[in-house]
């Protein structure tokens, strides 16, 4: 065994390989040397009497492959051809051009992030965004943190730590990624008090549980599932009346943060933050990167006295939003104030696009793919979904390009891992490219990638 161990190439021998020498023109010699040591250590720890000793070339190939896979800019851009508008695995909402530029501008030099230019004194990164949120929702004030889970944790910790929070049994749910509302309540220091039944809850159920230890009434929109049939839930107006009468804050998590009524596009209703505030909710929580169409953020709007309590809590510092996302979110909100969301924000462009436009575009693109006896290409009617835990079960008519090949799985893998990564879906033994979620500026790259994959 010792003889075999002595046959393993040395670090210096691998460093002398031509391929490694080329890599060291781009990367740190120290980092590459450390990577070689790790690879050789793995060989030593796994080798036995039956093992073949890897050559210098084999070790250098392993090192090179590792660098090509891992020492590159990430995440990689992909074309979303799945038909899922807010695709969590693909980064949720793409930003408008203006929002992206704002993020770049905020980071390429210094900024007045926390400085009042008039007075020269320290300012707050929340001041301007709070005013924008007030203008859009009618709330007294607003606060932004790094995601909605953090916003909920902050709100519950600031207002209900050591107290009880009343939640309908039907709303004590898991909201994605194993993130469960009861666990959030526990981590915030609040105690969960479930009321009602899985399918029916009334205002009187909440009222019966009110006591001195009650810290908040909490209502959560079922954003990623539906309970249908024999159901009942109190409105936010009813809960707000109860909260006002008893002096207990009402917290409302609306999830997706849609500022536009989706019923305008044939979709189901979605709770709007401005409606929540109008109904009397003391605090309303929602995401920035779902139906709002902005960057990842957790947004809280509501009564100024409660927003101030959240702002002054120690977790507000831990959860605060960074300057790039804040800049992108600011411009996203301005799109709504300018009434240009449908023309500027990509997810609303996708949702609002006319079906006939998708058909015309699909027809044009399909003709650009060369024909062959080895595969077939045609335009088909299909269905898109919203995704991202928004509007569960809702679909939109769409058009896509259907590619039939001998092995759909192999084709899909090749086009996912190509120079231009395209993410289609496989349906009924065919590969589907749904035009609704493909940006028009990606059309040429899409056709080039499909053609290259089919011909190679």
pLDDT digits (tens, 9 = 90+) for 266-324: 999 999 999 999 999 999 999 999 999 999 999 999 999 999 999 999 999 999 999 99
pLDDT for position 230: 73
Question: 248 vs 158, 208, 254, 279, CA distance in Å?
Answer: 14, 14, 19, 15
pLDDT band of residue 1 (cuts 50, 70, 90) is low
Helix (H) or strand (E) holding 408: helix 408-416
The encoded tokens of residue 299 equal 């947004």
Q: Is 112 exposed, middle or buried (0-12, 13-18, 19+ CB in 10 A)?
A: exposed
CA 79 to the chain's CA centroid: 16
- C-alpha 312/C-alpha 141 separation (Å) is 14
Question: 430 vs 32, 295, 356, 367, 445, CA distance in Å?
Answer: 43, 33, 23, 18, 21
Of the three residues 344, 362, 389, the one that is the final residue of a domain is 344
260 with 363, same domain?
no
Q: Tell me: the pLDDT tens digits for 334-393?
A: 999 999 999 999 999 999 999 999 999 999 999 999 999 999 999 999 999 998 777 877
- Specify whether the backbone of 224 is left (phi greater than 0), alpha (psi in -120 to 50) or beta: alpha
For the chain, the farthest-separated pair of C-alpha atoms sits apart, in whole angstroms, at: 84
123 with 266, same domain?
yes
- C-alpha 394/C-alpha 388 separation (Å) is 12
> Is the confidence at residue 219, as pLDDT, over 70?
yes
pLDDT band of residue 229 (cuts 50, 70, 90) is low
HSE of 380, CA atoms in CB hemisphere, 13 A: 17
Q: Is 374 exposed, middle or buried (0-12, 13-18, 19+ CB in 10 A)?
A: exposed
275 with 136, same domain?
yes
* 283 close to 311: Cβ distance less than 8 angstroms: no
Q: Tell me: the pLDDT tens digits for 242-258?
A: 999 999 999 999 988 99
- Whichever domain contains 325, its CATH number is 3.40.640.10
313 with 424, same domain?
no
pLDDT band of residue 227 (cuts 50, 70, 90) is low
Coil vs helix vs strand at 243:
helix
CB neighbour list of residue 411: distance below 8 Å, 6 or more residues apart = 403, 405, 431, 453, 454
- C-alpha 298/C-alpha 289 separation (Å) is 9
- C-alpha 108/C-alpha 36 separation (Å) is 35
450 with 412, same domain?
yes
Helix axes 323-337, 127-137, angle to 10 degrees: 30
- Whichever domain contains 375, its CATH number is 3.90.1150.110
pTM for this entry: 0.92
Counted domains in the chain: 3
Mean pLDDT of the chain: 93
* 23 close to 32: Cβ distance less than 8 angstroms: yes
66 with 184, same domain?
no
211 with 293, same domain?
yes
237 with 336, same domain?
yes
The encoded tokens of residue 327 equal 């800049």
Question: 308 vs 13, 124, 283, 289, 316, CA distance in Å?
Answer: 63, 12, 12, 24, 10
Cβ-based neighbour number of residue 198 at 10 Å? 11
437 with 361, same domain?
yes
| Domain hosting residue 17, numbered range | 2-70
* 185 close to 157: Cβ distance less than 8 angstroms: no
pLDDT for position 50: 73
- C-alpha 148/C-alpha 52 separation (Å) is 52
- C-alpha 74/C-alpha 70 separation (Å) is 9
pLDDT for position 173: 67
Coil vs helix vs strand at 17:
coil
Kindly state the percentage of the chain with pLDDT values over 70. Answer: 96
118 with 211, same domain?
yes
249 with 127, same domain?
yes
Tell me which residue has tokens 């411009």: 331
323 with 410, same domain?
no
- C-alpha 289/C-alpha 176 separation (Å) is 15
Q: Higher pLDDT residue, 4 or 97? A: 97
Q: What are the residue ranges of helices labelled H in 71-196?
A: 97-108, 127-137, 148-160, 181-188
SS3 string, 314-363, reads HHHHHCECCHHHHHHHHHHHHHHHCCCHHHHCHHHHHHHCCHHHHHHHHH
């Amino acid at each position: 065994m010792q003889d075999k161990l002595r046959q393993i190439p040395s670090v210096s021998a691998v460093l002398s390989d031509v391929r490694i020498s080329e890599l060291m023109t781009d990367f740190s010699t120290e980092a590459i040397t450390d990577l070689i040591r790790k690879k050789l250590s793995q060989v030593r720890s796994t080798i036995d009497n039956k093992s073949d000793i890897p050559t210098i070339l084999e070790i250098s190939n392993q090192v090179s492959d590792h660098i090509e896979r891992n020492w590159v800019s990430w995440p990689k851009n992909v074309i979303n051809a799945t038909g899922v508008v807010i695709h969590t695995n693909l980064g949720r909402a793409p930003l408008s051009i203006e929002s992206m530029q704002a993020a770049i501008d905020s980071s390429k030099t210094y900024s007045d992030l926390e400085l009042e230019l008039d007075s020269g004194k320290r300012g707050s990164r929340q001041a301007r965004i709070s005013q924008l949120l007030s203008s859009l929702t009618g709330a007294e004030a607003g606060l932004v943190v790094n995601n909605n889970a953090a916003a909920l944790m902050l709100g519950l910790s600031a207002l209900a730590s050591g107290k009880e929070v009343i939640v309908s049994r039907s709303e004590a749910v898991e909201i994605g990624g194993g993130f469960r509302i009861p666990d959030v309540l526990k981590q915030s220091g609040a105690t969960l008090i479930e009321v009602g039944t899985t399918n029916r809850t009334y205002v009187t159920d909440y009222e019966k549980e009110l006591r001195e230890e009650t810290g908040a009434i909490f209502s959560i929109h079922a954003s990623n599932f539906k309970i249908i049939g024999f159901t009942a839930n109190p409105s936010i107006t009813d809960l707000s009346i109860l909260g006002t009468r008893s002096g207990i804050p009402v917290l409302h998590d609306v999830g997706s943060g849609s500022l536009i009524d989706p019923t305008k596009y044939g979709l189901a209703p979605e709770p709007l933050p401005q409606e929540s505030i109008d109904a009397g909710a003391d605090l309303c929580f929602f995401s920035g990167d779902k139906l709002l169409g902005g960057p990842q953020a957790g947004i809280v709007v509501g009564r100024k006295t409660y927003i101030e309590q959240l702002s002054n809590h120690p977790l507000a510092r831990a959860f605060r939003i960074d300057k790039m996302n804040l800049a992108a979110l600011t411009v996203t909100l301005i799109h709504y104030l300018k009434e240009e969301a449908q023309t500027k924000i990509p997810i609303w462009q996708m949702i609002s696009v006319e079906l006939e436009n998708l058909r015309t575009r699909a027809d044009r693109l399909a003709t650009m793919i060369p024909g062959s006896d080895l595969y077939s290409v045609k335009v088909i009617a299909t269905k898109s979904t919203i995704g991202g835990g928004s509007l569960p079960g809702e679909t939109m008519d769409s058009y896509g390009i259907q590619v039939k090949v001998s092995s759909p799985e192999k084709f899909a893998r090749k086009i996912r891992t190509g120079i231009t990564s395209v993410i289609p879906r496989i349906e009924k033994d065919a590969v589907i490219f749904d035009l609704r979620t493909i940006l028009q500026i990606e059309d040429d790259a899409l056709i080039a990638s499909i053609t290259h994959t089919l011909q190679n």
